[in-house]
């Protein structure tokens, strides 16, 4: 397979001890199939119910899928300003160098957000209990 960006030959690389990806030794981007991206999310955010929808906005890009040579779609990942390129035939996704780390950061911050929300709800319950107790004072 060839790199959609610089047309170098992709090599196999075992990524973070989790999965095999096709890696470009020249521009350091990598190609993930759809299953592989799911695994990447599971590493830091192991709750399918909270993953939400993957594709926010998409437009036809200029790069080509290394599997079928179809033009990749550029899209934004989960409302964040992270651009990925995806094959319209669902062969996979292209990540530029460093974008995988951004996905991890986004997942971590989503997880932190969930915890904050839980704490906020608990705090609100305490406030309501306090108010209830105050209003029911003899």
Q: Quick count: other Cβ atoms within 10 Å of Cβ 136?
A: 7
Q: Which residues are CB-contacts of 110 (< 8 A; sequence separation ≥ 6)?
A: 45, 50
| Interface stretch with Zn ion, choices 69-77, 100-108, 113-121, 125-133 (CB under 5 A) | 69-77
- Residue 10 interacts with Zn ion (CB under 5 A): yes or no: no
Among 68, 114, 120, 131, binds Zn ion (CB under 5 A): 68
Q: 30: closest CA among 106, 134, 103, 79? A: 103
Nearer to Zn ion, 58 or 111 (CB): 58
Q: Kindly state the smallest distance separating residue 99's Cβ from Zn ion, in Å.
A: 13
Q: Where are the alpha helices (DSSP H) in 31-98?
A: 34-44
Cβ neighbour number for residue 125 with a 10 Å cutoff = 10
Query: Which of 37, 40, 65, 106 touches Zn ion (CB under 5 A)?
Result: 65
44 binds Zn ion, rule: CB under 5 A: no
- Cβ at position 29, least distance to Zn ion in Å: 5
Kindly state the tokens that stand for 60: 């036809």
Residue 87 binds Zn ion, judged by CB under 5 A: yes
């Amino acid at each position: 397979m060839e790199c959609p960006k610089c047309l170098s030959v992709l090599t196999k690389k075992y990524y973070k001890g989790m999965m095999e990806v096709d890696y470009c030794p020249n521009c350091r981007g990598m190609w993930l199939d759809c299953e592989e991206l799911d695994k990447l999310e599971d590493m830091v955010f192991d709750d399918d119910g909270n993953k939400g929808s993957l594709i926010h906005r998409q437009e036809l890009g200029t790069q080509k899928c290394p599997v079928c040579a179809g033009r990749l779609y550029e899209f934004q990942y989960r409302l964040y300003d992270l651009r990925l390129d995806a094959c319209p035939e669902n062969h996979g996704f292209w990540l530029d160098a460093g974008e995988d780390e951004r996905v991890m950061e986004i997942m971590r911050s989503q997880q932190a957000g969930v915890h904050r929300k839980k704490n906020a709800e608990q705090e609100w319950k305490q406030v309501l209990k306090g108010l209830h107790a105050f209003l029911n004072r003899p």
